[in-house]
Amino acid sequence: MVILNTSSFGVFFLLGFSEQPLLEMILFAIVVVFYLLTLLGNMAIIILAHLDPRLHSPMYLFLTHLSLMDLCYTTSTVPQLLVNMQGLKKTITYVGCVGQLYVSLAMGSMECILLAVMAVDRYVAVCRPLHYATLMHPRICGQLVAMTWLAGLGNSLVQTVLVTQVPLCGRNVIDHLFCEVPVLLKLACVDVTFNRMELLLVSAFFLLAPLTLILTSYSCIAQAVWKIRTAEGRHKALGTCSSHLVVVFLFYGTAMATYLQTPSATSRDRDKFMALLYGIVTPTLNPFIYTLRNKDMKGALRKMVSRRVLTRKKNHPGWLR
């Protein structure tokens, strides 16, 4: 059991699934596996996109930054979660909680925008292929990436400052897995209606506006694909977009279920499992969805593995004996 010491200064207690020790043990093993896969998959994408000249295109530039965001997000939350799952005192320092809140919120905000940018990239590639080189010029793509990072970091800074100004009156027991704005607002000992409304409006902007742009882009893509006469052409066009749509539904579905809800509609266990989905499962699936559905990425991976094998054979001719 967790010893609750509400007089502790500068420390929060993250309860997690402490009331269900067996479930927590099972989740610990699952989270370890997913975290290792997240590190492996996203680092592989970043390395491949950097080393293989065939992947020096806008699509893989955006994918590289998506992988970097996923790595930052999971590293800001998962190691602390694993430590708490194995310990009796499931604590996190105040500074650590604020840092976790800032990084995770920044990466989540960035991913919302970046997924919309990637949808626009796919729209231009499918619907306006002759103008692709002009519309998605490397300078323009760099500006879009910079805008994404600045918007996410700026939004996170505002949200973090606002939530840290809310008095907690000694309350430091968080019935959740991570430090997030909605769960921290539940600890407030004053009226936080303004904070909740502000969070709802900002969340609606960062979730619904990009989602609207994504759906609009893909509706145009669907119309363009429908006009393609050959089945092979349709399959090729859909193949470039289907993986992105899977990521979109995974990410936006779970994030909207968490941030676009009223306090009365929340459920502790439901919120915790949703946090596991968008905070751990989605970053793990992203690289595998893109690599397994992408011919260029699979080719680059095979090329890198073959090169490593040949190099090892040359350096150690008898290594297979």
The domain of 65 spans: 11-310
Average pLDDT over every residue of 298-311 = 64
- Kindly give the residue spans of alpha helices, DSSP state H, lying in the chain: 21-51, 58-86, 94-127, 132-135, 138-164, 181-185, 193-226, 231-259, 268-276, 282-292, 295-315
Residue 254 forms part of a structural domain: yes
Bridge-based pairing of strands 91-93 and 173-174 is: unpaired
Residue 35 forms part of a structural domain: yes
Residue 296 has a pLDDT of: 65
d(CA 243, CA 279): 19
**Average pLDDT, rounded, for the chain:** 81
DSSP per position, 219-282: HHHHHHHHT--SHHHHHHHHHHHHHHHHHHHHHHHHHHHHHSS-GGG--HHHHHHHHHIIIIIH
Model confidence over 32-57: pLDDT tens digits? 999 999 998 899 888 888 887 777 88
Contact 60, 99 (CB under 8 A): no
Average pLDDT over every residue of 66-89 = 88
Model confidence over 221-244: pLDDT tens digits? 888 877 766 666 666 666 656 766
Model confidence over 151-179: pLDDT tens digits? 999 999 999 999 988 888 878 888 888 88
- Confidence check: pLDDT of 303 > 90: no
Residue 154 forms part of a structural domain: yes
**pLDDT confidence of 6, banded at 50, 70, 90?**
very low
**pLDDT confidence of 145, banded at 50, 70, 90?**
very high
Percent of the chain with pLDDT over 90: 25
Residue 265 forms part of a structural domain: yes
Residue 101 forms part of a structural domain: yes
CATH number at residue 127: 1.20.1070.10
Average pLDDT over every residue of 76-105 = 88
Residue 279 forms part of a structural domain: yes
pTM of the model: 0.83
Residue 318 forms part of a structural domain: no
The structural domain count of the chain equals 1
Residue 297 forms part of a structural domain: yes
Residue 37 has a pLDDT of: 92
